[in-house]
Chain A
């Protein structure tokens, strides 16, 4: 096993285990913390994939901002553990997991081939590393993708307004 192989499998294991813990743990705070771990380890995978910029904002935005928000809300609401009693729809769980597993098998078999028929782009690894990952992304973002970038700004504005409208005590 190569060094990258070792890193991949160990990080993948952490990703999976922490992701499963998010779903399994009954205390929401624990779930949130596991989710933070998942995000961190995903950032590791991004580095393995030569996506340093993405890895960085994964840590900053996801693990940093978004998860803090989650934790903050959980603390604010002072939530207890989920109660185990009073299963209202027992079939839901069994049936849901069955279909999810079916979906996993289906999607897994699709991607397992690992062949992409799509057209290759121009940003080969050599070229990107020559420019630098962040600079290359920035270049694209402010030329070809400038419009989506602007739409994202409207989206954020709407979200800010919305969040304030909903959570402010008195408007």
Chain B
């Protein structure tokens, strides 16, 4: 038998390779670093992220399949790559001091973030269900560990365990879905599935539909869509805050990338079938997320519910099933990355070991004591609430317009109503900060350069995308041209 090695296009793997190598380097280097002073490992990771970003830029505008159609490096994947890299970079910047403060500074932390990012990139670029599955697992396993990284904290343990059990449970369903897809179409290649479906005479094959349903469940779990969302609040609350930030942006973005690629590209011919389901899920997700967020008192938990709600908004873009809607998803994810990471950054900075200040009441009077930090938080909250002129507003506007354009007026109406409800709890934080007397003493903030840089990047991103969104919208549009 002849072994025909397929064309190995190492260049197309550039970002993934760079990150993997950086991760291994971080592991090696951190062995030689003194205990508790592992920040060089963080800066090394940032260097890796930077080069991965550069190589992503070089790959832009030149879509190619490589490794026997296992991955497709197109603008869509690269756009998501940049979101993952932003999420990873900002999370690492926020972690440096946070870990030292918690006496948990270990090089492995950064290496795992990089591994998780590699997994995300494979999810976004994967053009075979198996590649996507392996990317998803690489990401998930790293995140399980990161969620439980604070080994002595009961909450962190619990968070990791819950995420692990439910994640593995949902992976099994995803896998079952892949098996059925494989059985029904004879391939797991996204292009192959799409070709099969466009030729198939019989689209009501129950195995095909059930497989699709199970894929929906698998992705729905990762994006935290109702009713697969239950893990989100607990896991987000218990995980180290910088990991919560990373999860809420990175994992969600990666899951959406794969979700969009599989459903809007590969399963496009079944769009009438899945669209209704997604419509219902989007409504449930938005509504439940927003309604329950109102009665939360822990700010991380509140943001967890808010992230559920945001998943609902983004699903509207999928239901719209148009170029506008898909580019809206990309744009929204980018905006969400900046604003959500920023909000978590403020939370990290406002906490202390043994005094996490996670209760919403702890934020009362913050506006007087730390006007700068409170101002940042206000910007992020406004953006999450979708108040102009922030990135969140433009994102919502874009997605809702896409829904209307595709004729889903009711969905848009429900979305708008939801975003109005959401203002209530986001503004609650602002009100606490500016309109309440402080309830307790706080020792003072420990600004660190890395945290400051992270917050500045986040706030600039949030405002810049809100005020001058055109270039980013253009990029998002260029990224989805393969679709439809």
Contact = CB atoms under 8 A, between A and B. Distances in A.
Nearest to A149: B134
Contacts of A118: 182-187, 196
Interface stretch (B198-206, B251-259, B373-381, B433-441): B198-206
Interface string B1-22: 1011110100000000000100
Nearest to B135: A151
A111 B109 CA distance: 44
Interface residues of A, number: 37
Contacts of A125: none
B151 interface: yes
Nearest to B105: A171
Interface string A146-166: 111001101101110111111
Interface stretch (A66-74, A84-92, A135-143): A135-143
Contacts of A171: 106, 108
A154 B112 contact: no
A162 B135 contact: no
Contacts of A117: 184-185, 200, 202, 205, 207-208
A148 B70 contact: yes
B130 interface: yes
Contacts of A145: 68, 70, 130
B131 A161 contact: no
Given A119-B196, A151-B138, A162-B142, A144 B131 contact: no
Given A119-B196, A147-B131, A148-B131, A154 B20 contact: yes
Interface string B360-372: 0000000000000
Nearest to A159: B141
- Tell me what chain B mostly uses at the interface: helix, strand, loop, or mixed: helix
A147 B67 contact: yes
A21 to B, nearest CB: 20
A120 interface: yes
Nearest to B4: A143
B459 interface: no
B137 A155 contact: yes
Nearest to B145: A162
Contact of B6 (A144, A162, A163): A144
B484 to A, nearest CB: 25
A131 B1 contact: yes
A96 interface: no
Contacts of B79: none
Contacts of B71: 147
Nearest to B214: A107
B27 interface: yes
A116 interface: yes
A158 B141 contact: yes
Nearest to A117: B205
B145 A119 contact: no
A116 B111 CA distance: 43
A119 B142 CA distance: 36
> Which of B1, B106, B119 neighbours the largest number of chain A CB atoms within 10 Å of its CB?
B1
Contacts of B80: none
Nearest to B19: A154
A138 to B, nearest CB: 9
Contacts of B109: 165
13 contacts: A118-B183, A118-B184, A121-B186, A139-B3, A143-B3, A143-B6, A146-B67, A154-B20, A155-B138, A158-B112, A162-B108, A162-B141, A162-B142
Lowest 10 A-B CB distances belong to which pairs?
A: A118-B186, A162-B145, A119-B186, A147-B67, A158-B115, A147-B70, A151-B134, A155-B138, A110-B206, A144-B68
Interface of A: 106-107, 109-111, 113, 116-121, 131, 135-136, 139, 142-148, 151-152, 154-155, 157-159, 161-166, 171
